[in-house]
A and B are shown apart, each in its own frame.
Chain A
Amino acid sequence: MSAALAIENLSVAYRARGEEREVLRGVSFAVPAGGAYGLVGESGSGKSTLALAALRLLPGAGRLTGGRVRIDGREPYVLDAGGLRRLRAHDVSMVFQNPARALNPSLTIGRQVAEAYEVLGWRRAEAEERAVAMLERVRIAAAARVMASYPRQLSGGMQQRVLLAMALAKDPLLLVLDEPTTGLDATVEAELIDLIAALRGELGTAHVLISHNLGVVARLCRRVGVLYAGRLVEEGPAAALLADPRHPYTLGLLQSLPSPGRRKDQGRLATIPGFPPPPGRPTEGCVFAARCVLADQRCRTEPPAAVDLGGRVSLCHYVERIPPLAHGTIRGVAFAPVGRAPTPAVIEAVRLSKTYRVGRRAVRALSDVSFTLGPGETLGLVGESGSGKTTLARLLLGLVAPDIGGEIRLDGVPLAALAANRGAAERKALRIVLQDPDSALNRAHTVRHLIGRVLRLAGLQGAARKRRLAELLAAVRLEPRHLAERPRQLSGGLKQRVAIARAFAGEPRVVICDEPTSALDLSVQAAILNLLADLQRDHGTSTIFISHDLSVVRFLADRIAVLYRGCLMEIGPAEQVFAGPHHPYTEALLSAAGMPGERRAPVRVASTLQGTREDGVTGCVFHARCPRRLGSLCKTVAPPVVEADGHAIRCHIPRGELGLAASPD
């Protein structure tokens, strides 16, 4: 039986401004029938191009410059138009990263799913019946209702299920999943991954999973290929490759992940210096040489050949030197522990609520949230989209006013609701670092102008300003040459450093970081996290760190607050929140994160259709999805906040019966 997908020595080039840029070179791997293959790599590494090339779907400017693709023995680049269409109609499917874009916005779901059956020769009515059955198979409860909906009326998770249903309609031999869960909330992502794994078991489809998330790949795939700058630098069985990498890049990627339980006072995260090369830049020698600790003259001049390590392959001259490296560099310089004495709080948020009016409806984005933030403390703010994290940040910054009754105090002094009414010193005290540095930095200005402006506003002149600028630049590890550059000349990681330098420039009391690393690649994320920990230690700045990534939050945060639909469900010292007892929602979040190598029974929560947010819920906001709800009590009576040792949980379930973290075994 031939492989579901066999790729041999594949090279792809894009034509841009009259130049051919090679974005993939010499990639080979195979996926057996029913197998599961993971492709990992950072943005620009060529993952998606590889998937599109395999299905002969390259955009107009892309071209196969070498190699062969075979799907179940047939070659899409050799088949005629009819043969290619038959291959696509019966044997291959793909699920794209952004489900909202992969569904036709102007056709109903029913039309689009049924179409996949009509192609196979079913008549309209039968096709629709089968479509309903397939939607039910991807665990969509109200399939009939979803059939009549337009894509925009469904949540992201639901849209992705519809795409899965469409992809599986033909019972394909090969299903390519391009970042299928990126951009979805953690609990939704966990559900989808379970679903994908279950469906593979039921249907025996071969999967190619493209992801930047090593945890997801480890769970779903038997073999893994690591792409870097268009080369498959390492390839092998998933378990062996992730536990014992044989390429410096794979090792660097694994080490730069904050492992579960890793905290900032246990040492810095390992980082990969530098940045990935822009796609298509020709390199002599090894593509990774510029960032590799092992690189020498040979690496820079002579491209490494694939080294066969018995069932796995690495593209490195010095394969034998990597295992010792894995033990050598993991421990870096430790951060100085942050001493915390009971001091008066910097920020006190008291009963903050925010109601937005949408048409005639009132939507509560935040309800009755109170917390304190001590000097030098990091408060991690965790929650899914729509939980009110960003609303809370906007309230603190004075961009919107809280509902009557809420108050924010800075050093014990009440702040005006809106920034316009706050004093200059008060406005300076609170700064924000946003998720997307592209939209946060004015593209027309140089780095010098962007940071210097804040210093000028802070009243610094002449030599003092120059000195401070140099200090800041050094603190965020930027080079003086970057001062004259504009944001578009910088990579994502460098831009985020500029944004961070700007936030810290005015010596604020509190910096709010809103998902500062979620738009960045893994190898760059570690460097930014180290930087934030350093800056906070050196300046004694308090930080509110908003993120959906629990291991990132755990690494940085001293205390953690968990928000769900605008309500504070749990708040307490980071280790206690992770160890438990924890709120059922926190438990679901922790379980959803499911780190590589972690074994425990997953806790899953039911997903809800978007738009079913009930107004006027009297009980717990989580009751409808809670796996542990206590009948009507949770639905009708607001749960009490029970506090012990500074760890507060809002739940009816007695503390002793709440979930604990499973001990690793």
Chain B
Amino acid sequence: MQDGPAAWLARRISFGLLTLFLLSVVVFAGGQLLPGDVGRAILGPLADPRAVAALDRQLGADRPAVMQYLDWVLGILHGNLGQSLEFRAPVSPFILGALAHSLRLAAVALVMVVPLSIGAGVLAALRRGTLIDRVISLAGLSLTVIPEFVTSILVILLFGVWLRWLPISATWRAGTGLLGQLDHLILPAIPLVVVLFGYIARMARAGTVEALEADYTRTAILKGLSGAVVIRRHVLRNALLPTITVIAAQTSYLVGGLVVVESLFRYQGIGSLILAAAHARDFPMLEAGVLSVGAMTIAVTLLADALTAFLTPAPVPGEGG
């Protein structure tokens, strides 16, 4: 299929919207319909049936599911993500605040892990077969399989309790400056770095090895270019494309899959918000949280695809032979 970048983007965006729609249906079904009687679920098994019925009517839970769904979606389209049952307040500020927190942690983790892992992967590729290569590959692999809660606890013990270099709680006091916030974010970011390092380094190494053996690299070497120019201009440019996709895929994990890390470090991210909402049976909060993580994932994936498409040489349009 050959069409312009605009058409391609439009198609991808519509696919993204479709995915979001399907997600909203699933989330709605899971959050609002499965518990059966919402009022009962909130008020508990001992509550007066009349109170339950009254609450259902108040929440609109006694109306047909389709109507409830449409109301919900229309509300979202108008910027109203719903009303928290627990806090008796709109959920939007909670969600936005948590998302901002999560993004900040993700950004710190990415800023640490991307240069580190790409550098290590490229170094391993350039020195492949040597001790350095083996150490990097093995370390990446072993670190990846350690669960986050293990690294989290180790990091807390090492840097927070024994060495006392950094605060163990990720929550900072209001009014703390950016640098001060960073102090709080470094420790929780380390377990994420440990998990992602292996993946990204492996991709970077594989891509670099492939580019190093490519004919175009040989052509460049035969031009008599210095090693540094060959690597910078000819190898890395082509080697790191697949790595971008991997990093993007991991970004969605960073924003939303961090329940364990967030709760260990007592960090008010979207992960812990969703967890708390689930505990409190705060369905609107839960739904809005899951949906916003989904939207974030779709957006990041789209962005990564667009970036990859922009950087990848398109295949030559095939001609029927």
Interface residues of A (CB under 8 A from B): 52, 55, 57, 59-60, 81, 85-90, 92-94, 96, 98, 100-107, 115-116, 119, 150-153, 163, 166-167, 170, 354, 356, 358-360, 363, 365, 385-391, 610
Contact = CB atoms under 8 A, between A and B. Distances in A.
Contacts of B314: 152
A193 to B, nearest CB: 21
A115 B225 contact: yes
A119 B224 contact: yes
B2 interface: yes
B319 A386 contact: yes
B208 to A, nearest CB: 13
Q: Can you list the 3 inter-chain pairs with the closest CB atoms, starting with the nearest?
A: A89-B224, A105-B313, A102-B215
What's the interface size class on B, roughly? Answer: 20 to 34
A106 B313 contact: yes
A49 to B, nearest CB: 13
B215 A96 contact: yes
A96 B219 contact: yes
A57 B218 contact: yes
B79 interface: no
A116 B230 CA distance: 12
Interface stretch (B91-99, B146-154, B233-241, B300-308): B233-241
B254 to A, nearest CB: 28
A85 B222 contact: no
Contacts, number: 104
Contacts of A387: 321
B222 A150 contact: no
B42 to A, nearest CB: 55
Contacts of B219: 94, 96, 102-104, 163, 166
Nearest to A96: B215
B55 interface: no
Nearest to A81: B227
21 contacts: A87-B224, A89-B223, A92-B222, A96-B215, A100-B316, A102-B216, A102-B219, A103-B219, A104-B220, A104-B233, A104-B237, A105-B216, A105-B238, A106-B238, A119-B223, A152-B313, A152-B315, A354-B320, A359-B2, A385-B321, A388-B320
A55 B224 CA distance: 12
Contacts of B214: 101
A248 B221 CA distance: 39
A197 B234 CA distance: 30
B317 interface: yes
Nearest to B321: A390
Contacts of A57: 218, 221-222
Given A89-B223, A102-B215, A105-B216, A358 B238 contact: no
Contacts of A85: 224-226
B205 to A, nearest CB: 14
Nearest to B209: A60
B41 interface: no
Given A152-B314, A152-B315, A88 B221 contact: yes
Given A57-B221, A150-B313, 17 more contacts: A57-B218, A86-B224, A88-B223, A89-B223, A98-B215, A102-B215, A102-B219, A104-B216, A104-B233, A105-B313, A115-B225, A151-B313, A152-B314, A170-B224, A359-B3, A386-B321, A388-B321
A55 B222 contact: yes
A106 B3 contact: no
Contacts of A52: 218
Interface string B55-69: 000000000000000
Contacts of B224: 85-90, 119, 170
B129 interface: yes
B216 A103 contact: yes
A52 B216 CA distance: 14
Given A101-B216, A150-B313, A152-B313, A88 B234 contact: no
A354 B1 CA distance: 18
Contact of B238 (A55, A98, A104, A359): A104
A621 to B, nearest CB: 14
Contacts of A104: 216, 219-220, 233-234, 237-238
A39 B27 CA distance: 67
B33 interface: no
A96 B233 contact: no
